[in-house]
Amino acid sequence: MKLITSTEELASACARFATQPFVTVDTEFMRETTYYPKLCLIQIAAPDGSTALVDPLAPDIDLAPFFALMGDEGVLKVFHSARQDLEIIWLLGGLLPQPFFDTQVAAMVCGYGDSVSYEQLVNDVAKAKIDKSSRFTDWSRRPLSDAQLSYALSDVTHLVKVYEVLARELIATDRGAWLDEEMGVLTSPDTYRADPDQAWRRLSSRMRKAREIAVLMEVAAWREREAQTRNVPRGRILKDEAVIDLATSAPRNVEALGRLRTIPAGFERSRTGADILAAVERGLSRDPSTVPTPERGRARSGGNGALVELLKVLLKAVCEDERVAPKIIATVDDLEALAEDDAADVPVLHGWRRGLFGEKALALKAGRLALSAEGGRVVVRDLPKEE
């Protein structure tokens, strides 16, 4: 197995792939010590049996032909669990693959379970086994071993069969449109933009006061910008626990900062300590009336708890009958909102989800639907209308 290490070789390979109806794509990358992923290998395969292993770390390679292939609307790009792969393509190439297909999402629609692993899907669909021994190796070291290259290539060669089977199932069940919403999220640039001003939302569920949230917003944004600038994980700048501690305690001087147990000793007198105190002051100076309210999970009320559990049972029963993964239909938050309000603005009350499950959920709430156990299975039955 030969690695493509030059732009000329890559352009020739991508020209061949451009004649195919679809290509399967995967990447290997490292991000344990960086903020942004470091692309280490690109794997491509096509239904005619052609394959390519591309070395993006080669000194004389320009990935422009690969990005052109990703943007070629005449070739479908197939990935499995594509979010991180697409993030890399967006960051390095400034585009997202179009048209695009994610076999993990398709597998959920076709009833293979929530977030089914690639190994399991290959076993179930392609009737093949993948040697996972090279999965967590260092992909940035050169030379790559034959075992690494063989493992990497298998990720895209088996994906050809997986895609073909899932595509046929989608056509047979007329569920192709069910994927559109999920694919739309994955191919939206907003999904991959790491806006420092929105970094606070990851930690906001623990905050209760406007003053705390205001400080959290400034400290989290500062940390995110520092991590991006230095290209290191945000935890290397400051742990989440420290960010929360700063938001709740709001230290205003070096001594107060140094008393926080989550702040490393001596940190308070460094340039970073001064930056943190400045961020705290910016937060404290915010007008509390302009501080947004964090989005929190809905607290389940005592009156709705049993109903939510019934809706969960109904969801599982419907999904078993229809052979679709519950995760793609509704979340627990969706069910809790539906338990509280028949007109809740949740995905399960719109489009195909409403027809599949939403209407049944509303009927259950209204007493027009019954659940019973028969032969070890939950059965859903319409109740007769009252005269």
Hunting for tokens 């460094």 — which residue is that?
270
Looking at the structure, do residues 78 and 122 belong to the same domain, yes or no? yes
Q: Answer with the one of 267, 290, 313 that is the final residue of a domain.
A: 290
pLDDT at residue 382 is higher than 60: yes
Q: Decide if 297 is inside a domain.
A: no
Residues 51 and 87 both lie in one domain: yes
Average the pLDDT over 346-358 and give the result. 93
pLDDT at 21: 98
Given a cut of 90, whether residue 368 has pLDDT beyond it is: yes
Q: What is the pTM of this model?
A: 0.87
Name the domain boundary from 290, 315, 345: 290
Within-domain flag for 134: yes
- DSSP3 helix / strand / coil % (the chain, rounded to 5): 55, 10, 35
Residue 43, classed as helix, strand or coil, is strand
pLDDT digits (tens, 9 = 90+) for 313-331: 999 999 999 999 998 999 9
Local structure of residue 263 (DSSP, 8 states): S
CB 61, CB 6: distance < 8 Å:
yes
Nearest Cα residue to 184 out of 284, 116, 275, 82: 82
Helix 271-284 vs helix 240-249: crossing angle, to nearest 10: 50
Q: 25 and 172 share a domain? A: yes
- Last residue of a domain, which of 192, 210, 232? 192
Residue 296 banded pLDDT, cuts 50, 70, 90: low
pLDDT of residue 167 exceeding 70, the answer is yes
Q: What single string gives the DSSP state of each residue in 311-351?
A: HHHHHHHHHHHHT--GGGT--HHHHHHHHH-TT---GGGSH
- Extract the tokens encoding 167: 């595509």
- pLDDT confidence of residue 387: 54
Full residue range of the structural domain in which residue 61 is found: 3-192
Q: Are residues 178 and 29 in the same domain?
A: yes
pLDDT at 228 > cutoff 90: yes
**Contact by Cβ (8 Å): 288, 211:** yes
Q: With 70 as the cut, is the pLDDT of residue 301 above it?
A: no
Q: Are residues 103 and 187 in the same domain?
A: yes
Q: What is the pLDDT of residue 386?
A: 65
Retrieve residue 230's tokens: 């230095």
Mean pLDDT value of segment 146-175: 94
Is residue 257 a contact partner of residue 278, using CB atoms and an 8 Å limit? Answer: no
Q: Does pLDDT of 139 surpass 60? A: yes
Q: Is the pLDDT of residue 298 over 50?
A: no
- 32 and 171 housed in the same domain: yes
The CATH number covering residue 218 comes to: 1.10.150.80
Q: Give the C-alpha distances (Å, rounded to integers) separating 384 from 207, 307, 310, 315, 369.
A: 48, 21, 20, 21, 9
Asked which of 165-169, 281-285, 300-304, 319-323 is least confident by mean pLDDT, the reply is: 300-304
Mean pLDDT (the chain, rounded): 92
- Give percent above pLDDT 70 in the chain: 97
Classify residue 122: in a domain, yes or no: yes
> What's the pLDDT score for residue 114?
81
- Average pLDDT over every residue of 122-145: 88
- Indicate if 20 and 93 belong to the same structural domain: yes
| Chain position carrying tokens 């600038």 | 229
Between 288 and 95, residue with greater pLDDT: 95
Position 11 confidence tier, pLDDT thresholds 50, 70, 90: very high
Confidence of residue 115 (pLDDT cuts 50, 70, 90): confident
User: Do 72 and 147 fall into the same domain?
Assistant: yes
What mean pLDDT do residues 189-202 have?
A: 93
**Residues 172, 200 within the same domain:** no
pLDDT tens for each residue of 68-90 = 999 999 999 999 999 999 999 99
Residue 151 lies in a domain: yes
